[in-house]
A and B are shown apart, each in its own frame.
Chain A
């Protein structure tokens, strides 16, 4: 088990190294440079700037220097913001992480629950209602869900009932975190609930469910003790990609709800061609995803005893 985790962490490091190198070259291949602006910069100033940020050195040398710095824990100095990238990430990442984790947890729990309900009450109004919700969730983009929530639950409720149920923007009180988290989770929630329903229907038709019934167990016990654990595997599998979707989707939601998270820095840094900032945020997201996938793979072993987390000899 520990050997397995060690091996996976080694591969994770390799993945991140490749990611860093790829982003590095892709940035350089883009036309323009970080100092491009409305006014033309005199050549001498340009030279001085390039020298200051080390951009006058050969590309490979720059890459190795950058990787060396990253290994020391230094993500460099943002050209656009004129601040260390470490500082910016340390300040913004907690907001994004908080939002993402809330959305992810809510989407998983609610998605699994709705999927179970839809499967158990198959063919009834509950099923139709849940699946209708799921189709809306998959097809309506999160910024529309976010805006509608802001308008109805934030603004209209205040106008009609004169109570501030949910603040329209911000990220400080618990109430202010509900709407953005929900808006961000909606799409994933829909995906998970559809998946859980299909998987649950499959499991409920299995022979061991019939065995459980023949023992005299109640419907409730059969579902929670025998069916759910077997049915949840596909959901665990998609949690990795869903974590990615939630992370990348966060930019829009952060914008709509004015949350000072990392999404804004990520997008603006690309527009400004802020080399160090792009690398830093990409690496941060990348690390998060790699860890999320590792957790998913570890979770397999805990949920399904048939999955053994050991190195298979070739």
Chain B
């Protein structure tokens, strides 16, 4: 399998009046053709910033790539100029956003919004581009494409608009598709349809997908690998199976514990993680989760844990996994 994307020790900061907010603090992951990587984590953990940095969509300033590298299709995005980025965006990598109600231009015909991207990257005539746009709309299961292409976004429902967004993102057969919470703003029934569509498209086109979400159900149904982010760091990565059945990081375990299950008694209150994530203006020296972690040790507060390998294809940054850790010696939890 070909490697599509490689992110290496990425640091992204925002310069604000209050100081430097370290939103992403050393994120490393890679992605292969036809693979789905889910990035999960609570709001503000840096998952969207990471995704947008891959396309350099964050306005810079205030955003700033402090260090690290992003290898996409053989190019280092971090060093790419704005002009080079214009060639990469939409062609090598494209993005689906969270809220389909606001991400289409309300004063432009849907068909035209599609052909625009096609004509920007492919040297097609107006008619050919239009035909291609109709084909894409058909691909995402929109009926009456000819008529629909002439309509404006307000004449589409939320789910339909998200389909249009997906069609737009696919228009130039990108190697990588970033879906930033693609179903969060949709009804549950529509969510399932959109996820099915993404799955179908992945199988048809073999595109690599980064799926950003905090819906663990969505992750379980689609992701090959999962990266759990917390306070700007990837605290645990592994295959979906490993993460769901053998979570190693206390944060991942707490996340999974907070999910309601079908068998759950109604009288049982949902479990939540006590405390709040750390302020990234002054991030802690040690493990960022230490203050909320029930297993926290002295070292957790003093020193950042490195990545340990609890099993094959599975890494977690937690001192509990160190071989000298008492609980580890006792044979784990």
Which A residues are within 8 Å of any B CB, using their own CB? 206-208, 210-218, 225-226, 229-230, 303-306
Contact = CB atoms under 8 A, between A and B. Distances in A.
B147 to A, nearest CB: 15
Interface stretch (B105-113, B198-206, B247-255): B105-113
Given A208-B105, A305-B154, A213 B57 contact: yes
A225 B120 CA distance: 13
Contacts of A305: 106-107, 152, 154
B121 A210 contact: no
A213 B105 contact: no
B195 interface: no
Name the 9 nearest CB pairs between A and B, nearest first: A216-B90, A216-B89, A215-B117, A207-B103, A207-B102, A215-B90, A305-B152, A208-B105, A214-B95
Contacts of A206: 102
Contacts of B85: 216
A119 to B, nearest CB: 13
B160 interface: no
A216 B102 contact: no
B105 A218 contact: no
Given A211-B168, A306-B154, A216 B121 contact: yes
B165 interface: yes
Contacts of A213: 57, 89
B128 interface: no
Contact of A208 (B57, B94, B102, B169): B102
Classify the interface of chain A: helix, strand, loop or mixed.
helix
B23 interface: no
Nearest to B109: A305
B174 to A, nearest CB: 10
Given A207-B97, A226-B108, A305-B152, A215 B168 contact: yes
B168 A230 contact: no
A306 B268 CA distance: 48
A230 B105 contact: yes
A306 B106 contact: yes
B86 interface: yes
A230 B105 CA distance: 8
B116 interface: yes
Interface string B157-174: 000000001001100000
Interface of B: 55, 57, 85-91, 94-95, 97, 99, 102-108, 116-117, 120-121, 152, 154, 165, 168-169
A214 B107 contact: no
Contacts, number: 71
B94 A215 contact: yes
A305 B117 CA distance: 22
B199 to A, nearest CB: 22
A215 B152 CA distance: 19
Contact of A216 (B86, B97, B99): B86
Nearest to A219: B82
B102 A215 contact: no
Contacts of A225: 108, 116
Given A230-B105, A230-B106, A306-B106, A214 B57 contact: yes
B89 A303 contact: no
A214 B120 contact: no
A207 B106 contact: no
A230 to B, nearest CB: 6
A211 B97 contact: yes
B89 A214 contact: yes
23 contacts: A207-B97, A207-B99, A208-B103, A208-B104, A208-B106, A211-B103, A211-B165, A211-B168, A212-B105, A214-B89, A214-B90, A215-B116, A216-B86, A216-B88, A216-B117, A216-B120, A217-B86, A217-B117, A217-B120, A218-B86, A303-B107, A305-B152, A306-B152
A5 to B, nearest CB: 22
Contacts of B91: 216
Nearest to B97: A207
A28 to B, nearest CB: 50
A214 B96 CA distance: 9
Contacts of A306: 106, 152, 154
B89 A229 contact: no
Contacts of B99: 207
Given A216-B117, A217-B116, A211 B154 contact: no
Contacts of B117: 215-217
Contacts of B89: 213-216
A216 to B, nearest CB: 4
Contacts of A217: 86, 116-117, 120
Given A215-B117, A217-B116, A305-B106, 19 more contacts: A207-B99, A207-B103, A208-B103, A210-B57, A213-B57, A213-B89, A214-B57, A214-B89, A214-B94, A216-B88, A216-B117, A216-B120, A217-B117, A225-B116, A229-B107, A229-B108, A230-B105, A305-B152, A306-B152
A306 B14 CA distance: 37
Contacts of A210: 57, 97, 103
A305 B120 CA distance: 25
Contact of B104 (A211, A303, A304): A211
B124 to A, nearest CB: 15
Contacts of B104: 208, 211
Contact of A230 (B86, B90, B107, B152): B107
A23 to B, nearest CB: 41
A211 B106 CA distance: 12
Contacts of B106: 208, 230, 304-306
